[in-house]
Amino acid sequence: MDLSILIICYLVGSVTFIIGLKMLSHPESARKGNLLAAGGMAISVLGTIFLYQEDGEKLGNYPWIFSALIIGSVLGTLAAKKVKMTAMPEMVSLFNGMGGACASLISIVEFDHLSHLLSRGGSVHSGMLLIIFAGLIIGTVSFSGSMVAWAKLNGRIKDFSFKGQHIVNLFIFAVIIGLSAYLIIFPEHISDTLFYTILVLSVVYGLFFVLPIGGADMPVVISLLNSFTGVAAAFGGFLYDNPVMLTGGILVGSAGTILTILMCKAMNRPLSNVLIGSFGGSSAAVSGKDQGSYKQISISDSAVVMSYAKKVMIVPGYGLAVAQAQHVCHELEKLLSEKGVEVNYAIHPVAGRMPGHMNVLLAEADVDYARLLEMEQANDEFPQTDVVLILGANDVVNPAAKTDPASPIYGMPVLNVELSKMVIINKRSMNPGYAGIENELFFQPKSSMLFGDAKSVLQQLVAEIKTL
């Protein structure tokens, strides 16, 4: 009877994961979808704790299990509530890394069980070993790589590479695969030393895998590592014959893979180029041509041109997130709309530091989802737009992607803001963006610089517009 109820719990969990993921596709249903999937997970976890049996015995160890659940729930809740939107990419990397670590620990525990079995003269199926090693390697690479991504996004470490690093990476990866294949084919030679050698090499590979990848590629890397964690979790589902782990892992793995492909497409770069190209390093590229001079615009002049425009397009970037200015930006939008101005937002797929960063940011401020235009839609609207207000975006509006074959971002689809009648660019300074390259848009005749913190500038604009 308990087994039948447990199977139903797993079925409920799997179904809620699928429905919840589908609901995440639209902001209006995303919160409910998240709660639905979390509810299905809770049912599956509690069902496992109280109903799972092996050889007629239940799990037991309830004090340890619930102590871990309570501690993890409290820490996770506090971290999620306190995190700023600017630090959301770091949190995503951190939590994703924890998922990879869990998958790796599952493989370590199961290897320990098999090791004891073999020491007593037992046998093990090669398929089981394959799953264990796959979960160990992928989970560990996801963990160590995610920790590097977290530290880079947090500013704790910089891009690092050395001559021949890609060759070293390939060598380490070959050794990992070679040792794993050897132990799978000849399980009688399994030893703790070789197993933990694979573990250590996987940690090193994860570090070297992410360290050289530049800042502008971090959204792609986060998405890729997320898919790694999903695949590793799916292997855990195979190990335990657990349909919920299998379903959840497959969903995360496939969704992360699809998103990675879409992100690469949005940047017009193959994944292999992202992984070995080191695009977007921390050092600024030196422009070989004189860009000329830029001109500035005042708050009052900016307020006037936007107030009397027919159509205004706002381009949000990481600078908006840093200043936590999404709410005052929404206030500016509503104020202009009341004056009869048509206001929309142009969203580039890789704006910010993680996939969908700008969408999440604006959703937090209750911006109408219908106003968020994807890149293709926005590019169709720019020729009819009177004023474009760029808030902290840089590389995603750089015309060099279309005009300069020598530019590292050449070929990357960008927002064609220069086609509008006027461009106002809000930045703290003339420093290059996250990709470390100069933006020729700043020096074009249609462009005007509005320097300052995004939140402060928007607050001043709102106050000025109210007086008109």
Per-residue confidence (pLDDT) for residue 352, from 0 to 100:
73
pLDDT tens digits, residue range 3-29?
Answer: 789 999 999 999 999 999 999 877 778
Q: Work out the average pLDDT over 362-384.
A: 91
Between CA 170 and CA 141 the distance in angstroms is: 14
Q: Is 314 helix (H, G, I), strand (E, B) or coil?
A: strand
- 193 pLDDT more than 70: yes
- 279 pLDDT more than 60: no
> Across the chain, what does the average pLDDT equal?
87
Residue 281: pLDDT band by 50, 70, 90 thresholds?
very low
For residue 459, what are its two tokens? 């607050």
Q: What is the pTM of this model?
A: 0.80
Residue 258: C-alpha distances to residues 112, 129, 223, 355, 408 (Å):
35, 28, 9, 12, 24
For 299-467, the fitting CATH number among 3.40.50.300, 3.40.50.1220, 3.30.428.10, 2.60.40.650 is 3.40.50.1220
Per-residue confidence (pLDDT) for residue 461, from 0 to 100:
95
Residues sharing a CB contact under 8 Å with residue 393, sequence separation 6 or more, in sequence order: 315, 316, 317, 318, 319, 348, 351, 415, 433
DSSP 389: E
Strand order in the sheet with 342-347: 372-374, 342-347, 311-316, 387-391, 422-427, 447-451
Domain boundaries, the chain: 1-82, 85-283, 299-467
- 178 pLDDT more than 80: yes
Select which of 241, 395, 404, 453 is catalytic.
Answer: 395
Q: What share of the chain is helix, strand, coil (3-state, %, to 5)?
A: 65, 10, 25
Helix axes 357-364, 27-51, angle to 10 degrees: 100
Quick check: is 217 catalytic? no
pLDDT tens digits, residue range 228-273?
Answer: 999 999 999 998 889 999 999 999 999 999 988 888 877 777 777 6
